[in-house]
Structure 1
Amino acid sequence: MNTAVAGLDEKEWSGWAGSSACPGHCGDERLLSMIRPSGRALAWLLVICVAAVSATGCSGENGATDLPPMPQGATEPFDLYLQRESDLIVEVMHVLTDRCLADAGFSARRDSVDESELENGPLMGKPLQPRTVERARKYGFGMPLKPRQGEPRKVVDDDPARSRAYDECMAKAKERLGGAEGFEEVVGQYGNLRNTLTHEMNDEADEILSKFASKLTECLREKGYERADGGDLDAEEGPRQFGISTGSYTRGEAGEHAEAGDGAAGLPEQVAYVPTTEESDFAVTFVRCGQRTGVFAEVDERWEGMQQAIIEDHAAEFAELNPKIKVLAKKAAGLVGK
């Protein structure tokens, strides 16, 4: 049986530009939010990086900090953010925690690193989604989730003894990774940097959408969609400004990932976004209007330059944190034999 778990309250809407949504995954772990910020359930603008850049570092001017070298295989400016390394650090922390729990006699999810938990794609989602009629019909303005985002990420404790053991095991895992205080500081700062990149890119994308607001509004009006006040599309409001009811995220049956009697219950296995029919219809119209007005082309044309400008603005943070993340990732890999 599917049950709705999350929709998008209009009061929660904070712009058409949003980072990748990850219900069922983001926030499920006590430290994961430091690495991967939770995203909006619905967004027209979901940020991705599609630019190609040099594999060398960029020099600053007037005494500005130089950017560190791009990682091997980088294809876009935001690849400077070491997403896979940061994911590995968090994944190893949980492997070490689970091994400790198992040694203490409690059930644990895994004994080795799950490669599916390591991000291999771009840092953020592509702007102005959906862009295809197929995706619009299937997801509306929601996010198609990666398989790992629908998998159970933890067990829910209702046994005080297991909860205490979890906290103790987590602290030991952090200590092995570099000391609890130092570990949390570096991981937290790197997560904050990602949040900053996301927010600044969202602001850029909102500006582009606002530039095309009149053209988009005219196109939508021709197709029968109009704001109650007759005004133009507002980049600060969601689809409901056009009277569109939105869908929700749903969970499937709960998975069993704990032995009976140890005080832990499995979280649901499936999380997916289900749009309303009118949302899907409206999303299809948005796709066609986006193509017709040229707003998609404008975003794509400017995307490389926007990414590059943003990372250059944060050269000091990258120069300080990337080496630290590399050290932590190397240590994490060694602790689990990778």
Structure 2
Amino acid sequence: MSALLPVGACSSATADLPADLAAAKSDQPFSLFLGEELGQIDYAQLKVRNKCLAKAGYPQNLNTMLEQPRNPFRHLLITARSFGPTSAEEAKRVGFGRDSLSAPPSVISFDPSYDKAYDRCTDIAWKELSDDAKKVYYGYFDLGNNLSQPLSPTVNERMGDTAWRKLLSCLGDKGHRPQNEQEFLQNPNPGFFGVPVGVDANEGRDRWKPKQVPGTIEVGPAVPAAPYHAGPAESALALAWFECRRATGIDKKQLETAVQVQRELVAKYESSFIELNPQVTRLAKQAAQLIGAP
């Protein structure tokens, strides 16, 4: 198992990063990723597109869009909560799930004329931002995916069998045993304990289905924010999970490991950060000016 550096240390992988990437040496290396700015760019593009659609006689998207931008990579803000409940109370209520954010109504088209207007207005919106806005946006979105996808698997692997066996032993003492120990050791996930584990508060709810009438545009209901409440079995497992992670020291070790892996990923994609961060900052300012945002 690889040696771990203390949270405040600077690894050789980030020691030579440029000054504007100095955050890679902090305990929040992924703070280098400009998720809020990316959300601002996306929101401006959507608003310009939707205004264009409204002028073409299709106000549905403009009438139903969110009132403010959202960071599409909120999960890159890595904290102790990223790895499970951080208190007994949280474990009992939320388990391994999460509260859900509100979502705007779905706009579904069965109208070819709308579809053509949609494509035309999308192109217009990107070009109003700048000639390179679409390329920069999707390039940065790819960077976000490249950072997020390997993080958890790499952290779990770095922790090693010894740590996860300690967790299993502690959980077993509390009456919780996985259905397949080897599968758990390869992928330490609470879903292997035969307990229904929630992901999102809206998971499993009945979804709106459009009537699919040709020549129409259908607007579904808005999805309100909803708190997640774990069932008794999930609450019990989550509480044991929280207590065992703390008792074995896995909670601190996992977070320290995550910081190190983040630093390595930032170093791996250093050239992308250097190239794209200034462009994303520029586009976010242009986006705010375009729609009159503060």
SS of the aligned residue for 2:85 comes to coil
Structure 2: unaligned runs, 5 residues or longer = 1-6, 209-214
Q: Is 2:41 aligned against 1:78?
A: no
Show the 5 A alignment for 1:111-122. 114-115=67-68, 117-118=70-71
CA contact (8 A) 1:212 1:295 kept: yes
**Which residue of structure 1 aligns with residue 163 of structure 2?**
212
Show the 5 A alignment for 1:158-307. 158-179=110-131, 182-207=132-157, 208=159, 210-229=161-180, 233-236=184-187, 238-247=189-198, 249-251=203-205, 263-270=217-224, 272=226, 273=228, 275-307=230-262
More strand by share: 1
Distance 2:242 2:285 in 1: 44
- Bigger shift: 328-337 or 200-209? 200-209
Provide the identity percentage: 26
Residue deviations 1:285-320 (CA, integer Å, cap 9, x gap):
111111111100212344444333321222111011
Deviation at 1:67, TM superposition (A): 6.1
CA contact (8 A) 1:86 1:325 kept: yes
Letter in 2 for 1:163: D
- Bigger shift: 271-280 or 115-124? 115-124
Distance 1:241 1:165 in 2: 48
Question: CA distance change for structure 1 residues 169 and 132 in 2, over 3 Å: closer, same or farther?
Answer: same
Residue deviations 1:36-89 (CA, integer Å, cap 9, x gap):
xxxxxxxxxxxxxxx7899xxx763xxxx7363468xx9832111111111111
Q: 2:51 aligns with which of 88, 99, 103?
A: 99
Number of positions where the alignment pairs a residue of Structure 1 with one of Structure 2 = 268
CA contact (8 A) 1:290 1:296 kept: yes
SS of the aligned residue for 1:334 comes to helix
Q: 1:155 aligns with which of 84, 92, 107?
A: 107
- Bigger shift: 154-163 or 80-89? 154-163
Letter in 2 for 1:313: K
**Which residue of structure 1 aligns with residue 268 of structure 2?**
313
**Which residue of structure 1 aligns with residue 212 of structure 2?**
none
Question: CA distance change for structure 1 residues 303 and 270 in 2, over 3 Å: closer, same or farther?
Answer: same
- Bigger shift: 165-174 or 203-212? 203-212
**Which residue of structure 2 aligns with residue 330 of structure 1?**
285
Question: CA distance change for structure 1 residues 115 and 317 in 2, over 3 Å: closer, same or farther?
Answer: same
Using the size of structure 2 for normalisation, the TM-score is 0.77
More helix by share: 2
Distance 1:120 1:314 in 2: 17
Question: CA distance change for structure 1 residues 52 and 329 in 2, over 3 Å: closer, same or farther?
Answer: farther
SS of the aligned residue for 2:96 comes to coil
CA contact (8 A) 1:250 1:271 kept: no
CA contact (8 A) 1:66 1:316 kept: no
Structure 1: unaligned runs, 5 residues or longer = 1-50, 255-260
- The one of the two structures with greater contact order (alpha-carbon pairs below 8 A, sep at least 6) is 2
Using the size of structure 1 for normalisation, the TM-score is 0.68
- Bigger shift: 321-330 or 109-118? 109-118
Larger radius of gyration: 2
Task: Provide the alpha-carbon RMSD of the alignment.
Answer: 3.3
Distance 2:204 2:187 in 1: 26
**Which residue of structure 2 aligns with residue 24 of structure 1?**
none
CA contact (8 A) 2:105 2:223 kept: no
Deviation at 1:194, TM superposition (A): 0.9
CA contact (8 A) 1:157 1:163 kept: yes
CA contact (8 A) 1:67 1:312 kept: no
Question: CA distance change for structure 1 residues 69 and 286 in 2, over 3 Å: closer, same or farther?
Answer: closer
